[in-house]
Amino acid sequence: MTGAEEACGLRERKKRATRQALQRAAISLFLERGVEAVTVEDICSRAEVSPRTFFNYFTAKEEVLVPWNSDIVARTAQHVRDQPAEHPPLRVAHTVLATAIDSAMAAPTWRDQAQVLREHPELMPRVVVASRALEAALADGLAQRLGRDREDLYVGLLASTAITAMRTAIQSWHRADPDLAPHGFLDRAFDLLSRGLTAD
């Protein structure tokens, strides 16, 4: 349960397989019928596990849409600390979140997750709520770098603003060509932030 990616024993591999089966089943059903029309029972039926098992992996059915798993969160926290000390905090956030997006895009379910969110933008805030872990990791890392308290206004503002910028960028990307890379949008958002949100 380290969060690392090694496929050690059979038990660990089966857990990963079950989690991914649930995710695949849920997302494909979401695309077929719409999120509201899919029940946990439907998902488990397609994934061939007991309905009770779903809640051993996710706390709510929308959680399968969150692209930031514990691996990504853990690596992001470390990534923040690995950045050169002289880089300004906003640049650190930009770099680190760009990498997080790359990692999320590597997941096999990424395209379908993105498509569900594109078709149901009303779910984005729920994803953001579920993305608190990523925000917390970012805030912790930045606080450490800056030698400030984790609950400092500046630290909290940096982290929450960076996550917001990422969300906004991804939304813009969703509305654009799906085959376009999301990085251009992220770069533009962080550029605007660094300019104090003045018009370009």
- Which residue has 């929450």 as its token pair? 160
Residue selected from 37, 157, 180, 181 as contacting its own copies according to rule CB under 8 A: 157
In the list its own copies, DNA, none, the entry touching 49 (Cβ below 5 to 8 angstroms by class) is DNA
d(CA 170, CA 13): 31
State the minimum distance, in angstroms, from the CB of residue 189 to its own copies.
5
State the minimum distance, in angstroms, from the CB of residue 128 to its own copies.
7
**Contact status: 85 vs its own copies (CB under 8 A):** no
Residue 140 structure tokens: 């912790």
**Contact status: 129 vs its own copies (CB under 8 A):** yes
**CB-based contact 170:185 (threshold 8 Å):** yes
d(CA 35, CA 134): 24
**Contact status: 200 vs its own copies (CB under 8 A):** yes
**CB-based contact 175:110 (threshold 8 Å):** no
Residues 6+ positions from 117 with CB-CB distance below 8 Å: 65, 123, 124, 127, 174
**Contact status: 98 vs its own copies (CB under 8 A):** no
In the list DNA, its own copies, none, the entry touching 90 (Cβ below 5 to 8 angstroms by class) is its own copies
State the minimum distance, in angstroms, from the CB of residue 163 to DNA.
22
